[in-house]
Amino acid sequence: MKSNTLNQLGGFCSILLGISYVLIGVLYLLLPADQKAGDDPAAFYTSVAQNPTLIRVYYLIFALGAVVALGAVPAISEGVRSVHEGWVRWTTNLAFLGFAVLAIDFFRTWAFQAFRAAVFVAGDASTRAAIEATDQGLDPQGWLGFGAVGAWVLVVSLLALQGSIWPRTLSYLGIAVAILYWLVVVSFVFNIGILLSIVAGLGGVILAPIWYIWVGLRLRQAS
């Protein structure tokens, strides 16, 4: 019964997470160019002050998706735990940490970014400098929210492949998703906006949703 209820809830959460990634990817691609790049704070804040709605929806869905992920992670991990419990436990904790950081960062940004943008546009040089200097979240380069989560996706996919627990295509798809998570980190570290757009389109709209929804459906069937 415990396994069944874990699979039911975890599968449902995994499907919702996949759907949230589709919405996140589409919304990111629809954002104005100045709201994507991030290399020009003045242009970013001016754009957000003029048009805050779309980016606030983007932040909110990202935060809610991260919360939903906390229900998907334990069920996905449990399915491959028998192959290597040590790796599964460690990377599961990394995934919990990463998704929790994402939720906190994006709820905070959703609540304050439009206000900060309005103050930035109306403020003097010192006000603008202060806002720019404090516009950092808990994980500004995505090492936890994307890198740690990517490590978990890689481990569960490799273990599922090793133990023949999932179809091989699903395992290989998970490995590709893990690589895309790490490319998000690379795009933040080196400020490569075009790479982030490619990852958002390929990973956010296509590969990650397929992986999470497919895994979620298998969990629901297993229950």
* The pLDDT value given to residue 194: 86
3-48 tens-digit pLDDT: 689 999 999 999 999 999 999 888 988 999 898 866 688 899 999 9
What does pTM read for this prediction?
A: 0.92
The position carrying tokens 């603008």 is 128
* The pLDDT value given to residue 37: 62
State yes or no: pLDDT of 100 exceeds 90: yes
DSSP string computed for 93-151: HHHHHHHHHHHHHHHHHHHHHHHHHHHHHHS-HHHHHHHHHT---S-TT-IIIIIIHHH
Write the CA distances from 199 to 29, 61, 178, integer angstroms. 11, 18, 11
Handedness of CA 31, 56, 70, 193 (dihedral sign): positive
Contacts of 188 (CB under 8 A, 6+ apart): 140, 141, 142, 196
DSSP 223: -
- H or E element in which residue 8 lies: helix 2-30
148-167 tens-digit pLDDT: 999 999 999 999 999 999 99
Q: Is 137 exposed, middle or buried (0-12, 13-18, 19+ CB in 10 A)?
A: middle
Would you say 111 and 59 are in contact if contact means Cβ atoms under 8 Å apart? no
Task: Give me the mean pLDDT over the 83-110 stretch.
Answer: 97
Q: For 75-84, 102-111, 186-195, which range has the lowest pLDDT when averaged over its residues?
A: 186-195
Would you say 202 and 22 are in contact if contact means Cβ atoms under 8 Å apart? no
Task: Give me the mean pLDDT over the 56-69 stretch.
Answer: 97
180-193 tens-digit pLDDT: 999 999 998 998 88
Number of Cβ within a 10 Å radius of residue 85: 12
Number of Cβ within a 10 Å radius of residue 53: 9
* The pLDDT value given to residue 2: 54
State how far the Cα of 123 lies from the Cα of 132, in Å rounded to an integer: 12
The position carrying tokens 């490995």 is 175
Domain count, the chain: 1
Domain range spanning residue 97?
2-222
Task: Give me the mean pLDDT over the 44-69 stretch.
Answer: 95
